[in-house]
Amino acid sequence: MTKLFYRESKDFAIVGNGEVDKNLNKSSGIHKLEKKLKREQRALARKLENKKKRGEKSATEGGRTRAKNVLRVQKLHQRLANMRNAYRAYIVSMLVKTKPAYITIEDLNVKGMMKNRHWSHAMANQGFYDFTLKLFNACKKVGIELRQVSRFYPSSKLCANCGHKKTKLSLSERVYHCEVCRIERDRDLNAAMNLQQAKEYIVLT
């Protein structure tokens, strides 16, 4: 049985058995492409600004150099999108390949997270909606029960060992320390194990 927990962090997905899927957006390959994209976007912005200063009305038509610059920006955007899409599809295939009895995920408040200017860009790049849709379709195809717990389920605050619930848990605390049973465990792994044991959920498939 496989249980899934994911959120915007250094990792994309944490499985209840301890398996970790890294955050692709923090890889060197993505960083290099994003730096190249920023350079091309700055170069294009300078060209368009110079064109505007000369009094030319159209900012997108004419100019072979500008056209090539626009094409390079578009290709880089497409390449990044394809890499992220392929990675999400790969994770889904790995999750369903073992044919677990069920997979449990959280109902993340993505819209709320997108309102935070520090998280919005990273959340958009993660593509959680697309990931959930791919997971739903894959589970439905092979007959795996896909469960979803409420966004108010305290997966991070509960101790997966004894059930004790913390009253406060800051985002900076990456290791879960239980005051009752004294166990110490990675915060996200603890949350994934709580999803494994969740009794209240809705079935999506």
SS (H, E, C) the chain: CCCEECCCCCEEEEECCCCEEECHHHCHHHHHHHHHHHHHHHHHHHHHHHHHHCCCCCCCCCCHHHHHHHHHHHHHHHHHHHHHHHHHHHHHHHHHHCCCCEEEEECCCHHHHHCCCCCHHHHHHHCHHHHHHHHHHHHHHHCCEEEEECCCCCCCCECCCCCCECCCCCCCCCEEECCCCCCEEEHHHHHHHHHHCCCCCEECC
- The pLDDT value recorded for residue 87 is 92
- The pLDDT value recorded for residue 63 is 72
pTM of the model: 0.77
- The pLDDT value recorded for residue 4 is 46
pLDDT by residue for the chain (205 residues), tens only, comes to: 444 444 445 677 778 777 778 878 788 888 899 999 999 999 888 887 777 776 665 545 557 888 888 899 999 999 999 999 999 999 999 889 888 889 998 887 767 666 666 666 766 777 888 898 999 999 999 999 999 999 889 988 999 999 999 988 887 888 999 999 999 998 888 988 899 889 989 999 8
- The pLDDT value recorded for residue 114 is 65
Every domain of the chain and the residues it spans = 4-203
- The pLDDT value recorded for residue 43 is 87
- The pLDDT value recorded for residue 5 is 43
- The pLDDT value recorded for residue 173 is 86
